[in-house]
Amino acid sequence: MASIVDIHPHVIATDTQKYPLNPLGGTQSTWSRDRPTPIEKMVTSMDEAGVSKAAVVQASTAYGHDNSYVAAAIAAHPKRFTGVFSIDMLAADNVDKMRYWLDQGFSGMRLFTTGSTMPGQATWFDDPRSFPAWEYAGKHGVPVCMQMTPQGFPQLRKLMERFPQVKIILDHLARPQLIDGPPYAADADFFDLSRYDNVYLKVTPLNVSPEQWGNATPETLFRKLVDTYGARRIAWGSNFPATAGTLKEILGKAQSAMASLSADEREWIFGKTAQSLYPKLAD
């Protein structure tokens, strides 16, 4: 059986003196306050769920750009974890910060341009001050996760054309509507991004269990995603513990929603794509 790899869990320490809170936007997310998940609890949850490895994503709504607790997770379990760091892309030392966190065992970067504590769609990510970091990511094979909405697609397209070597991973599929059902014409801009070979999709509980399905169904949605992007460009992320429930429950819902896909397609989505993006997680 192929390994199951999670590319979107978060670790939250209970020791706020050693790991002080400094959330982006100034407001801590309610989930990180109510459901702290220390490193060993994450390991236990993964064991219970049957998740082999994970790319732990920096909890920007708890720690901002201080990735120290994710670094601690990697140091404690280097064969099981890699990390996805966050930095200030507009700072003069953005490349130095990238090098520092990569040296701590991280493999990817995440840009938090919208979210529960920072509504709206920021546009700073294509500021020329960010270009050295984008260039470094392209030259050194650092995938960049984009926490964004379709409103930012115009800026994203310009960046991808300027830095075509950078692998872009759209967190939560970039939050398209996906409720009109086949042929999903209302989200044509989202599906059009598939023409860029460097765009990857991260499927999370927001897409597996949306507030409403409308005319869509799990079968038609995931068939459309695979037919358009290919399973090799789609990876699963739990969003645990930001999403309520156990990791085992979250994984089970995702597996059920994608049960109509072929075994090979599911192997890529639940493991092999993650390992291609983050080779440190390879078997």
d(Cα 93, Cα 224) in Å, to the nearest integer?
Answer: 41
pLDDT at position 25 is 84
pLDDT for 1 beyond 60: no
Question: How does residue 215 score in pLDDT terms, banded at 50, 70 and 90?
Answer: very high
Question: How does residue 116 score in pLDDT terms, banded at 50, 70 and 90?
Answer: low
Q: Which long-range contacts (CB under 8 A, 24 or more apart) does 39-45 make?
A: 39/11, 39/13, 39/69, 39/72, 39/73, 39/76, 39/77, 42/9, 42/11, 42/73, 43/77, 43/80, 45/240, 45/246, 45/247, 45/248
Q: Provide the mean pLDDT of the chain.
A: 96
d(Cα 196, Cα 181) in Å, to the nearest integer?
Answer: 23
Query: Count H helices, E strands: the chain?
Result: 13, 8
Judge contact between 55 and 83, C-beta under 8 A.
yes
pLDDT for 124 beyond 90: no
pLDDT at position 121 is 77
Residue 128: both structure tokens together: 């020329």
pLDDT for 119 beyond 80: no
d(Cα 207, Cα 262) in Å, to the nearest integer?
Answer: 19
Q: In the predicted model, what is the mean pLDDT of residues 79-98?
A: 97
pLDDT for 223 beyond 90: yes
pLDDT at position 246 is 98
For 249-281, what is the HEC assignment? HHHHHHHHHCCCCCHHHHHHHHHHHHHHHCHHH
Residue 227: both structure tokens together: 């037919």
Over the stretch 156-211, which tens digit does the pLDDT of each residue have?
999 999 999 999 999 999 999 999 999 999 999 999 999 999 999 999 999 999 99
Query: Do β-strands 5-6 and 144-147 pair in parallel, antiparallel, or remain unpaired?
Result: unpaired
Q: Is the peptide bond before 218 cis (omega within 30 degrees of 0)?
A: no
Over the stretch 14-41, which tens digit does the pLDDT of each residue have?
999 999 999 988 999 999 999 999 999 9
Can you give the pTM of this predicted structure?
0.96
In 3D space, the residue among 187, 122, 193 whose CA is nearest the CA of residue 152 turns out to be 122
pLDDT at position 112 is 86
Strand partners, 203: 236
pLDDT at position 123 is 83
Judge contact between 169 and 110, C-beta under 8 A.
no
Residue reference for tokens 């390991």: 43
Complete domains list, the chain, with CATH? 5-281 (3.20.20.140)
In 3D space, the residue among 152, 241, 165 whose CA is nearest the CA of residue 196 turns out to be 165
Residue reference for tokens 């909405």: 149
Task: Report in angstroms the alpha-carbon separations of 105 from 27, 39, 102, 221.
Answer: 28, 16, 5, 35
pLDDT for 117 beyond 90: no
Tell me the CB-side half-sphere exposure of residue 140, using CA atoms within 13 A.
17
Over the stretch 224-259, which tens digit does the pLDDT of each residue have?
999 999 999 999 999 999 999 999 999 999 999 999
pLDDT at position 195 is 96
Question: How does residue 2 score in pLDDT terms, banded at 50, 70 and 90?
Answer: confident
